Amino acid sequence: MITCSPPCLESEPWQHELARAVTDPAELLRLLDLDSARLPQVQMKGARFPLRVPRYFVELMRRGDPFDPLLAQVLPLAVEEQPIVGYLQDPVDDMAASQQHGILKKYHGRALMITTGACAVHCRYCFRRHFPYAENSVLRHWRVALATLGELPDINELILSGGDPLSLSDARIRQLLEEAHKLPQLQRLRIHTRLPVVLPGRVTTELAGLLSESRLQTVVVIHANHPREITPSLRRAMRKLASGGTILMNQSVLLKSVNDDADTLAELSEALFGAGVMPYYLHLLDPVEGAAHFEVPLVRAERLLEALRSRLPGYLVPRVVRELPGEPHKTPISHL
Same domain, 99 and 75: no
pLDDT band at 17 (very low <50, low <70, confident <90, very high): very high
Average pLDDT over residues 284-295: 97
Mean pLDDT of all residues in 84-95: 94
Which range (4-13, 204-213, 239-248, 321-330) has the least confidence?
A: 4-13
Inside any domain, residue 1: no
Residue 155: CB atoms within 10 Å:
20
Do 271 and 137 fall within a single domain? yes
- Strands (DSSP E) contained in 68-115 are 103-104, 110-114
Fill in the amino acid letter for 134. Answer: A
Residue 121 lies in a domain: yes
Give the pLDDT score at 7.
Answer: 39
For residue 297, tell me if it sits in a domain: yes
pLDDT at 8: 39
294 has a pLDDT exceeding 70:
yes
CATH of the domain at 166: 3.20.20.70
Has residue 90 been placed in a domain? no
Mean pLDDT across 290-302: 97
User: What whole-number distance in Å separates Cα of residue 59 and Cα of residue 132?
Assistant: 31
Number of domains in the chain: 2
Assess whether 128 and 174 both reside in one domain: yes
Average pLDDT over the chain reads 93
Distance, CA of 156 to CA of 78 (rounded, Å): 43
Among 164, 166, 172, smallest CA distance to 201 is for 166
Structural domain that includes position 57? 6-79
Whole-number pLDDT of residue 89: 95
Domain membership flag for residue 170 = yes
Same domain, 59 and 108: no
Residue 242 lies in a domain: yes
- As a whole number, mean pLDDT of residues 273-292 equals 98
Q: How far apart are CA 55 and CA 57, in angstroms?
A: 5
Mean pLDDT, to the nearest integer, of 277-298? Answer: 97
Higher pLDDT: 151 or 297? It is 297
